[in-house]
Amino acid sequence: MRYGIFSDVHNNLEAFETALKFYKKERIDKFIFNGDIIGYCANPKECISLLESLKPVCVVGNHDWAVIGRFDLNYFNNYAKEALLWTRNVLSGQELDYLKTFVLTYREGDFVCVHGSLESPAEFNYIIHAEDARRNFAQLDKKILFIGHSHRTESFCLKEDKLSYSKEEMIKIKPKCKYIINEGSIGQPRDRDPRLSVCIYDSDDKVVKLKRLEYNIKKAADKILNKGLPNILATRLFQGQ
């Protein structure tokens, strides 16, 4: 099976369309969305429609839950909160109902997907540092944990209690190792690389590919400004942070 695994689209239609053009050439058997279709950018309705067309498994993100009232808006900074309130007013009842169908975790084969962390998934904690990774490896009963949330394309590997960190784009899944792989963000990367990030997992070849792609950032940023959303949400797209 070839899985297309992606997350953190955040209303960024230009980035999402570019990602799907890439996936179309990659013979994907199944799509898994790992959370946060909405927030920050200017095209929530269009992004939800595109997501639905893929018929993916959908894991919920903190922004998805916040917009339907299942996660406290006070968790977010003022810019994110303003974008969420704007998004809530734009979406139809049917679109909000679709967000309610997303699940907290998804397990299949040798992997599990969660937006933030296996530790209390509904709290949306981050896995950024080595100690975060070790706590999650202790709870991981599969070979691979796919995550999003931090918007950073990176991975951790645990082999016989030795933890390593990587930003390699190609990861060969080895027999005596476990992995935490962050597929990064389509709509708002934060690792100082403004290119969108997507992931492919080939479960037959045991290979994970993390791919960065250029997209029309200016068009996405101009839409944010034209909708009257905070300027910082536009400028950070160019900075990748």
Q: What angle do CA 220, 125, 235 make, to 5 degrees?
A: 20
Which residue blocks in the chain are alpha helix, DSSP H? Answer: 13-24, 44-54, 62-67, 78-90, 93-99, 130-139, 217-226, 231-239
For the CA atoms of 87, 90, 93, 97, the dihedral, rounded to the nearest 10 degrees, stands at: -30
For residue 212, give the CATH number of its domain: 3.60.21.10
CB atoms inside a 10 Å sphere around CB 63: 28
Q: What's the rounded mean pLDDT across residues 12-38?
A: 98
**Mean pLDDT calculated for residue range 10-26:** 98
Which residue range forms the structural domain that includes residue 177?
Answer: 2-239
Mean pLDDT of the chain: 98
* Average pLDDT value for residue range 165-194: 98
Structural domain count, the chain:
1
List, for residues 124-175, the tens digit of each pLDDT value. Answer: 999 999 999 999 999 999 999 999 999 999 999 999 999 999 999 999 999 9
Angle at 174 between CA 169 and CA 180, to 5 degrees: 55
